[in-house]
């Protein structure tokens, strides 16, 4: 419980949430490393979720690198989670299958395996395996994602500032707020379209300039459909705000029925805009989904009120009378926003983070740490303004120095919050640390890459583990010698469970038969991806875990 509370406190400042689900390869036809005497007419890939064939890449090559596929991947009519790739007539020998698909949440996943056609395929060749690591956190996509979120959140925050906080100023017609709103919304609409185009181009491995080919593909991914809906909802939000600006000009101290109806419509459109990213991304793939999407939405709402209000205060910075009206009112909004940010962050952290160490041992955790530091700096500036600048502005004759200090601190606060949103863009582009990390916190050894020979002791047992060649996408020989009190352990039930530690994927468990007194060994095609793997070795009731890094 103490660990969970500590993890929650450190990560509570995180903006849009996290996810655990990815498209994982559950089984294949032919089975990895299988010898088949009858040449298969297709390769079948069975995933944990339905993937879009148009964004899938599956290559089947022989030992000399010649492609053996007879057509593109297609979804099986019998199983929507299965992709089938037709093959040419295969001759006797070994074949490499390389696959790359896009998860529902927009993350690319890759892998490879081999099989052979007999009856005498010969030894497995040293295939040249393409890179098995890929991320959605490409700099160009992260920048575009940041622009979309920053501009959208700023527009929504400016709308709330004008409609609620700065409404007493409407008789003076502060056009700067309206102009800034339309600029922010315009940037969000344009950046979102460019982002959809660039992301779809990466999914389909096409040029971003090939718009004619990309537009039909945008509707064929859950990610693309979600952000196209965001474009529509943002446009509707702009229409609704236009009605609010036309109806509510501050002529009446009390809002009319028309004012309230227009305001309600704009608020619903703003809320829907902030709901779409979570429904199209990580949050919708995280269980429990309703809680995850709600937390993601509340993060975005609170962040929007904060950043939009700060930008609005900067626009009014030269008008001391306007600051006297807006700063005290906005301070209450900002205080509530930070409270919501903290509360939802605590809950999300307990749900998502597997270990405290994952904060500094994974890129995902490092992004959280960066965001925590940025937001702590912004909160420190906001606290100073709340305790010093606000009381000074409420004096009968506010000193000029108080307004100048407020302007500088608000500018710094806005920069830090905008930078924190950039960190959130990076965070949402990375695969979150898998829950399996909680099981390897006390690993007996960390080994690899390359061939492994490692010895360790656990609860009276002495283990000597050997892995060769410790490469992804090929069959690896695993053997373990087990002794106790200097004597070999005979006739034990020994299992080896493989768990991917770089992303959430199903575990694979194999039994190691005894091949000599105290020696248990088996050739296993379990390391399907380059990266870190947790190898849980179980002998009877004793389990020890080794962290292995498999190369490519």
- Cβ-based neighbour number of residue 401 at 10 Å: 10
Largest CA distance in the chain: 95
Q: Give the model's pLDDT for residue 524.
A: 84
List the alpha helices (DSSP H) in 316-399: 320-352, 358-361, 363-384, 390-393
User: Is residue 476 predicted with pLDDT exceeding 50?
Assistant: yes
**What is the β-pairing status of strands 508-511 and 494-500?**
antiparallel
CA pair distance 316, 301, nearest whole angstrom? 23
List the one residue out of 544, 489, 547 whose CA is nearest residue 520: 489
| Class of 23-102 in CATH | mainly beta
pTM of the entire predicted model? 0.76
DSSP 483: E
pLDDT at 155 over 50: yes
Best-predicted range by mean pLDDT (60-69, 199-208, 360-369, 527-536): 60-69
Residue 455: pLDDT over 70: yes
What is the model's pLDDT at position 307? 93
What's the N-to-C CA distance of the chain in angstroms? Answer: 39
Of the listed ranges 39-53, 80-94, 245-259, 265-279, the least confidently predicted one is 245-259
What's the number of CA atoms in the CB half-sphere (13 Å) around residue 340?
Answer: 21
From the list 326, 306, 304, the residue with the least C-alpha distance to 406 is 326
Listed range (59-63, 97-101, 357-361) with the worst mean pLDDT: 357-361
Q: What local confidence, expressed as pLDDT, does residue 193 receive?
A: 93
CA 193 and chain centroid, separation: 20
Mean pLDDT, range 64-68, rounded to an integer: 90
In what helix (H) or strand (E) does residue 42 lie, and over which residues does it extend? strand 42-47
For residues 69 and 89, is the Cβ–Cβ distance under 8 A? no
pLDDT at position 174 over 70: no
Record: fold of 440-550: Immunoglobulin-like (2.60.40)
If one compares 170 and 279, the residue with the highest pLDDT of the two is: 279
Using CB atoms within 10 Å of the CB of residue 23, give its burial: 0 to 12 exposed, 13 to 18 middle, 19+ buried: buried
Least confident of 56-60, 120-124, 295-299, 376-380: 120-124
**DSSP 8-state class, residue 69:** B
Segment (H or E) for 402: helix 400-429
Instruction: Say yes or no to pLDDT of 389 above 90.
Output: no
How far apart CA 122 and CA 120 sit, in angstroms, is: 6
Task: Find the mean pLDDT for residues 458-463.
Answer: 90
> How confident is the model at residue 441, as a pLDDT?
61
* pLDDT for 186 beyond 90: yes
CA distance 477 to 447: 15
pLDDT of residue 388: 76
Average per-residue pLDDT for the chain: 82
Q: What is the pLDDT of residue 14?
A: 36
CB atoms under 10 Å from CB of 72, counted, come to 13
Supply the pLDDT for residue 251: 52
What pLDDT band is residue 540 in, cutting at 50, 70 and 90? confident
Q: Determine contact, residues 489/539, Cβ cutoff 8 Å.
A: yes
Most confident of 387-396, 463-472, 501-510: 463-472
> What tokens were used for 332?
């209450």
Position 392 pLDDT exceeds 80:
no
What's the pLDDT score for residue 3? 38
| 142-154 per-position pLDDT tens digit | 999 999 999 999 9
Same fold, 23-102 and 440-550: yes
Alpha-carbon distance of 37 to 263, in angstroms, equals: 70
How much of the chain exceeds pLDDT 70, in percent?
88
pLDDT at 120 over 80: yes
The helix/strand/coil state of 191 is helix
Q: Could you state, in order of their start, the residue ranges of all structural domains in the chain?
A: 23-102, 139-433, 440-550
Confidence of residue 484 (pLDDT cuts 50, 70, 90): very high
Residue from 521, 506, 460, 508 nearest 486 by CA = 460
Handedness of CA 174, 175, 178, 180 (dihedral sign): negative
pLDDT at 133: 59
* Radius of gyration (C-alpha) of the chain in whole angstroms: 28
Distance CA 379, CA 286 (A): 29
| Percent over 90 (pLDDT), the chain | 31
Give pLDDT, residue 229.
92
| pLDDT for 231 | 94
The pLDDT, as a whole number, for residue 159 is: 92
The whole-number pLDDT of residue 10 equals: 32
Q: How sure is the predictor about 532, in pLDDT bands with cuts at 50, 70 and 90? A: confident
**Mean pLDDT of the 412-435 span:** 85
Counts for the chain of helices (H) and strands (E), in that order: 12, 19
468 beta partners: 477
pLDDT tens-digit series, residues 225-240: 888 999 999 999 999 9
CA dihedral 133, 138, 142, 148 (to 10 degrees): -100
> pLDDT band at 16, cuts 50/70/90?
very low
The residue ranking higher by pLDDT, 252 or 92, is 92
Per the listing, tokens 């959430």 go with 504
Determine the Cα–Cα distance for residues 17 and 293; give it in Å rounded to an integer. 8
Encode pLDDT of 438-447 as tens digits: 766 667 778 8
B/e letters for 216-236, b = 16+ CB within 10 Å, e = fewer, are ebbeebbbbebbbbbbebbeb
The pLDDT value recorded for residue 11 is: 33
Location of structure tokens 């050894």: 445
Reported as a pLDDT band with limits 50, 70 and 90, residue 190 is very high
Angle value at C-alpha 134, between 130 and 135, nearest 5 degrees: 170
Other Cβ atoms closer than 10 A to 485:
8
Local confidence band at 382 (pLDDT 50, 70, 90 cut-offs): confident
- So what's the pLDDT on residue 496? 94
The pLDDT-based confidence of 521 (bands split at 50, 70, 90) is: very high
pLDDT surpasses 70 at 469: yes
Report, in this order, helix, strand and coil percent for the chain, each rounded to 5. Answer: 50, 20, 30
CA–CA separation, 55 and 53 (whole Å): 5
Strand 508-511 with 461-468, pairing = unpaired
Instruction: Give the separation between CA 398 and CA 375, rounded to whole angstroms.
Output: 29
């Amino acid at each position: 419980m103490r660990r969970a509370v500590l993890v929650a406190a450190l990560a509570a400042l995180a903006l849009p949430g996290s996810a655990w689900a990815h498209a994982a390869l559950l089984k294949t036809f032919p089975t990895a490393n299988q010898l088949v005497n009858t040449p298969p007419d297709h390769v079948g890939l069975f995933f944990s979720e339905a993937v879009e064939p148009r964004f899938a890449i599956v290559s089947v090559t022989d030992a000399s690198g010649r492609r053996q596929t007879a057509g593109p991947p297609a979804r099986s009519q019998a199983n929507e989670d299965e992709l089938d790739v037709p093959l040419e007539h295969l001759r006797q020998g070994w074949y490499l299958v390389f696959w790359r698909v896009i998860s529902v949440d927009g993350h690319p996943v890759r892998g490879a395996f081999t099989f052979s056609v007999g009856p005498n395929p010969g030894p497995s060749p040293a295939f040249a395996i393409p890179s098995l690591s890929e991320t959605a956190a490409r700099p160009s996509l992260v920048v575009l994602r940041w622009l979309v979120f920053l501009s959208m959140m700023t527009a929504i925050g400016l709308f709330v500032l004008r409609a609620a906080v700065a409404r007493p100023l409407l008789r003076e017609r502060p056009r700067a707020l309206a102009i800034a709103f339309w600029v922010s919304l315009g940037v969000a609409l344009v950046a979102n379209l460019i982002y959809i185009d660039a992301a779809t181009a990466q999914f389909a491995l096409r040029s971003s300039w090939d718009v004619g080919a990309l537009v039909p593909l945008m509707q064929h991914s859950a990610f693309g459909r979600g952000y196209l809906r965001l474009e529509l909802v943002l446009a509707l939000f702009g229409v609704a705000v236009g009605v609010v600006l036309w109806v509510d000009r501050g002529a009446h101290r009390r809002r009319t029925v028309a004012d309230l109806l227009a305001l309600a419509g704009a608020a619903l459109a703003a809320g829907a805009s902030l709901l779409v990213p979570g429904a199209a991304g990580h949050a919708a793939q995280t269980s429990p989904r309703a809680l995850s999407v709600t937390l993601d939405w509340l993060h975005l709402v609170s962040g929007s009120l904060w950043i939009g209000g700060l930008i609005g205060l900067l626009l009014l910075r030269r008008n001391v009378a306007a600051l006297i009206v807006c700063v005290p009112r906005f301070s209450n909004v900002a205080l509530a926003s930070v409270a919501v940010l903290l509360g939802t962050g605590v809950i999300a952290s307990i749900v998502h983070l597997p270990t405290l160490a994952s904060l500094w041992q994974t890129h995902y955790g490092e992004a959280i740490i960066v965001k925590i530091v940025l937001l702590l700096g912004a909160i420190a500036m906001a606290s100073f303004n709340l305790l010093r600048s606000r009381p000074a502005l409420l004096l009968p004759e506010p000193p000029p120095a108080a307004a100048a200090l407020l302007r500088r601190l608000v500018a710094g606060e806005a920069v830090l919050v905008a930078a924190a949103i950039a960190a959130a863009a990076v965070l949402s582009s990375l695969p979150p640390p898998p829950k399996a990390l909680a099981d390897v916190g006390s690993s007996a050894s960390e080994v690899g890459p390359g061939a492994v020979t490692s010895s360790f002791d656990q609860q009276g047992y002495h283990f000597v583990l050997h892995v060769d060649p410790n490469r992804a996408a090929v069959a690896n020989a695993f053997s373990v010698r087990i002794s106790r009190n200097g004597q070999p352990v005979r006739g034990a039930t020994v299992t080896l469970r493989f768990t991917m530690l770089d992303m959430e994927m199903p575990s694979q468990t194999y039994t190691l038969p005894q091949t000599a007194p105290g020696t248990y060994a088996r050739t296993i095609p379990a390391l399907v991806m380059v990266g870190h793997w947790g190898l849980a070795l179980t002998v009877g009731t004793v389990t020890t875990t080794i962290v292995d890094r498999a190369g490519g």
